[in-house]
Amino acid sequence: MATQSSARLLLFDSTLLPLAHIWAAGVPGPFAAKITGLWRTWRYFRLSWHDDIISLHDTYGPVVRIAPGEVSVVDADAVKRMYSHGSNTKKTAWYDTWSNGVTVPILFSETDKKIHAALRRRVSSAYSMTNVLKYELYMQECFDLCMKKFRKYADGRTAIDMSEWTHALAFDIVGELCFGKKLGHLEAEVDVGGLRSANTADIYWAGNFGHLWFQTSLYLNPYMDAILKLFRLNNAGMDEFYAWNFGQIMARKEGRGDPQREDMLTHFLRMKPMPGNKELDDMEVFVEAVNVIGAGADTTAIGMRSCLYYVCTHPDVYKRLQQDIDDYHTQNQLDGPTTYTQAQKLPYLRAVVAEATRLLPSIVYQLLREAPEEGITVNDCFIPPGTSIGISPLAQNRDKGIWGKDANEFRPERWIEDPSKTAFYESYNMTFGGNGPRACVGKNLALVEMYKFLSQLLRDFDVEIVNTAKPWNIKTYWFMDQTEFFVRLHTRTVT
């Protein structure tokens, strides 16, 4: 049986199976994609996958070939069979791209199910809603600073780029939750040390090199590092952050800092060693601390932008949501910022967040699995063993078979019309990578921050998009990246 990991055969692409083997399946798709996976990888590199994947399924249907040995599917049954508990599919070798040079297993990229389960068990409580709410006071310090900065720019002619501010907010929150201090992005109003752009670049290269021979070892090696440093092209922002990160871990481990502070780093330092190891490796703590960025920074910033975009481009939604927030404050005589627990009591706010992130989830690339030994049938199409099968959350979250004829429309009411439908939608929602054991571990962090951001911003300010004809630019580098999202803020007087 051919598998992805053994099929690095042709034109530098690593997702190839013997052509007759997969062509026999009769899966439709672009002709070039039958010959080389570079057809798909080129579109990854040009940052257009958010448009490409929607167009592919609109043109070819629910099962589409995007490389000789890879198919993309949009199918409710496949969601359960590929990602739920008890699934007999496994992650493909593409995920190895995230582990190059790392000597300990990584939760996101681990392909062995038993090891992944052990990794997830020992960190899951750090991301539990109970503990996330314990961290909320640290988050609120960041929100307070952010709103203070917003007031500086409100009521003037100065437009602010909300894509930069949400990114800064999310990174500072990560700093508070994991290292006990903000990373300085809000206060300085710049990308401190180029960390945010460096992190984006790392994700872009790792995700796109994943389908090529040798993956990230093509550029993560001493020879390439020397060349990049010579021409000052190395990713210095991430190098400096990694060094600072490790220093914070050592400081906490040695008892420096606030001994009473309970945060995510405290939890990671208390983790049990992996089975078979006598003690916890410092690198294991380091990896989990870095993972918080992936679980709680970019994804959350993307979600904040998506929510604000849809609210501001739908005046009726804007008016109703803001009124609900005001009414709740008045009825409960609140004189401070909305907490997550309070925001949870606003059904329309919950609906808005769910609907906005359904239509524009943070993850756009395919979540790849390997077809099991017996193969798998999707929408009456048999997919042979060893074939890479991927579902893009962006495409799956617009499946008309689940969401109805208006699947591409922003309609928050769908989430509050019928409790049974709400539960049905939740069971198939791919916003956080699904609801199975591989769903994003940082889901609770993202939800708390999105609820707080939207409720506090609309309580304090009126928000106006500057360029209504083109509110923002979207690029995809594994995550969705919305840039140049310029808005004007107007201070509200509320009682």
Q: Mean pLDDT over residues 383-403, rounded?
A: 94
Partners of 90 in the β-ladder: 370
Gap between the Cα atoms of 194 and 203, Å rounded: 14
Taking the CA atoms of residue 228, residue 231, residue 237 and residue 240 in that order, the dihedral angle to the nearest 10 degrees is 80
- Domain boundary pick from 351, 377, 396: 396
pLDDT at 11: 43
Helical segments of 231-370, H only: 236-253, 264-269, 282-296, 298-312, 315-331, 340-343, 347-359
Q: Mean pLDDT over residues 299-303, rounded?
A: 95
In this structure, the answer to whether residues 57 and 96 fall within a common structural domain is yes
Distances (CA, A) of 404 to 80, 256, 355: 19, 56, 13
- Domain boundary pick from 396, 415, 449: 396
Partners of 57 in the β-ladder: none
Gap between the Cα atoms of 449 and 459, Å rounded: 15
In this structure, the answer to whether residues 344 and 368 fall within a common structural domain is no
Other beta carbons less than 10 A from residue 81's beta carbon: 19
pLDDT at 10: 38
In this structure, the answer to whether residues 88 and 150 fall within a common structural domain is no
- Domain boundary pick from 351, 376, 396: 396
Which of these, 441, 119, 91, lies nearest to 275 by C-alpha position? Answer: 119
* pLDDT-derived band at 128, boundaries 50, 70, 90: very high
Q: Does the pLDDT value for residue 198 go beyond 90? A: no
The verdict on residue 401 lying in a domain is: no
Gap between the Cα atoms of 74 and 59, Å rounded: 13
Starting at the edge strand that comes first in sequence, how are the strands of the sheet with 90-91 ordered? 63-67, 70-73, 388-391, 367-370, 90-91
* Element of type H or E holding 59: helix 49-60
pLDDT at 100: 73
Of 16-20, 357-361, 370-374, which range is least confident? 16-20
pLDDT at 235: 58
In this structure, the answer to whether residues 197 and 243 fall within a common structural domain is yes
Gap between the Cα atoms of 184 and 187, Å rounded: 5
33: tokens are: 């994609």
Other beta carbons less than 10 A from residue 235's beta carbon: 20
* pLDDT-derived band at 5, boundaries 50, 70, 90: very low
In this structure, the answer to whether residues 35 and 116 fall within a common structural domain is no
pLDDT at 278: 87
Distances (CA, A) of 216 to 94, 101, 206: 11, 9, 6
pLDDT digits (tens, 9 = 90+) for 40-96: 999 999 999 999 999 999 999 999 999 999 999 999 999 999 988 778 889 999 998
pLDDT at 277: 87
Q: Does the pLDDT value for residue 9 go beyond 50? A: no
pLDDT at 458: 98
pLDDT at 98: 86
Q: How many domains does the chain have?
A: 2
Gap between the Cα atoms of 9 and 4, Å rounded: 10
228: tokens are: 């990049």
In this structure, the answer to whether residues 126 and 223 fall within a common structural domain is yes
Instruction: Determine contact, residues 344/350, Cβ cutoff 8 Å.
Output: yes
In this structure, the answer to whether residues 374 and 429 fall within a common structural domain is no
Which of 17-26, 300-309, 435-444 is modeled with the greatest confidence? 300-309
The verdict on residue 443 lying in a domain is: yes
* Element of type H or E holding 480: strand 479-483
Q: Does the pLDDT value for residue 419 go beyond 90? A: yes
Gap between the Cα atoms of 243 and 66, Å rounded: 39
pTM as predicted: 0.92
Residues across the chain: 495
Instruction: Determine contact, residues 312/459, Cβ cutoff 8 Å.
Output: no
In this structure, the answer to whether residues 133 and 242 fall within a common structural domain is yes
Which of these, 310, 264, 329, lies nearest to 290 by C-alpha position? Answer: 264
Of 76-80, 471-475, 482-486, which range is least confident? 76-80
Mean pLDDT of the chain: 88
pLDDT at 232: 54
CATH number, domain at 213? 1.10.630.10
Which domain covers residue 18, as residue numbers?
A: 1-103+364-396
pLDDT cut 70: percent of the chain above it = 90
pLDDT at 85: 77
Helical segments of 189-235, H only: 195-209, 222-230
Helical segments of 26-135, H only: 31-35, 38-45, 49-60, 76-83, 113-124, 129-134
Q: Mean pLDDT over residues 277-304, rounded?
A: 89
Is 440 annotated as a binding-site member?
yes
Q: CA angle, corner 300, sides to 322 and 219, nearest 5?
A: 155
